[in-house]
Structure 1
């Protein structure tokens, strides 16, 4: 066999490896969080009876998506955007009894890992709220991915609970005015960067 023929065969044999390597490099995609179509909702028991709901209207950050290695999240929520549907209550939620928006203007979540669980992901990360950082683990539902003419988009949603006292938010816990266990629902939609 000639050197030319051997070289050609070698190149043909190595081509799939080069293509696979190239596709792995391009596998990770970044999506910017669409704040209009993303939300963070919280629920806490009020006076030992009903549930009180609130939300944050301003989220930003990125979702890095790799179908093989899973998603990673870097999310920031503006505390000033808290919305209970009541102006006086919003003012109270922003003061030092609760979120203390002047001292701690953002709440963040940065993921550190993801493990595939069927169609969804178990995501670990660090949540920082009220100046305190704690590890959290959440079950992240992959909602979908589509491009219907308004950009390539991806969606994720999670529901989890925290104890707000773990983050130094103790107002109303001892006297039962507000529960300590807080349910959080985060729904994120990202639009592909670039």
Structure 2
């Protein structure tokens, strides 16, 4: 072989090796191997910054609001995954708060939530479908007054952030149920209190302590 051709061949091979080496060193890992699996994290619901509110039509006139102050549970979530969040939420029925002690006592009685027999309201999700970057359609079981019914609601992801006390994530949902579906029929006949209840739930989950 012509010595000149040998030199040219060696130079080409060396140059190709340099190019391939450069590509191997600088291409993203996803180009050479499967991407690392998403990190799914479990957030404890921060009871201080989470609330459940409800609204009912009163005497065919005004809309009356109340809330539950003790909301706990867990949120399992990874914002980079299309799988969506998982919720396991528990609300203490005895934490109902209308701003009126007498009314609160009545709501805790057998006429309404019957706190002595049914101390918790719960929601446990079974599936979540991504609607867009900030919204999921979540389905699961809602238990109120000892009665469990399926529920599907749109849930908005309000954000994830690193801050005081560690990492946090937030979700909010608004949906409507019928209290009669859960065996709560007091003052339903005659229209003293409406059947439809609008529910607003705002959850903030955290990893780590702090407020």
TM value normalised by structure 2: 0.81
Moved over 6 A (4+): 12-15
- Give the drift of 1:16: 2.6
Q: Relative to structure 1, is the Cα distance of residues 189 and 97 closer, same or farther in structure 2, using a 3 angstrom cutoff?
A: same
For 1:62 and 1:132, locate their aligned partners in 2 and report how far apart those are by CA, in whole Å. 22
Partner of 2:184, secondary structure, is: coil
Is 1:155 aligned to residue 167 of structure 2?
no
* Residue 42 of structure 2: aligned partner: 30
CA contact (8 A) 1:64 1:71 kept: yes
TM value normalised by structure 1: 0.88
Partner of 2:112, secondary structure, is: coil
2:62 to 38, 44, 50: 50
Higher gyration radius (CA): 2
Is 1:131 aligned to residue 139 of structure 2?
no
| Structure 2 residues not aligned, in runs of 5+ | 1-23
> Deviation digits for residues 154-189 of structure 1, max 9, x if unmatched?
000000000000000000111111000000000000
CA contact (8 A) 2:56 2:63 kept: yes
> Deviation digits for residues 74-105 of structure 1, max 9, x if unmatched?
00000110000000000000000000000000
Highest relative contact order (Cα 8 Å, sep 6+), 1 or 2? Answer: 1
Q: How many aligned positions are there?
A: 179
| Structure 1 residues not aligned, in runs of 5+ | 1-8
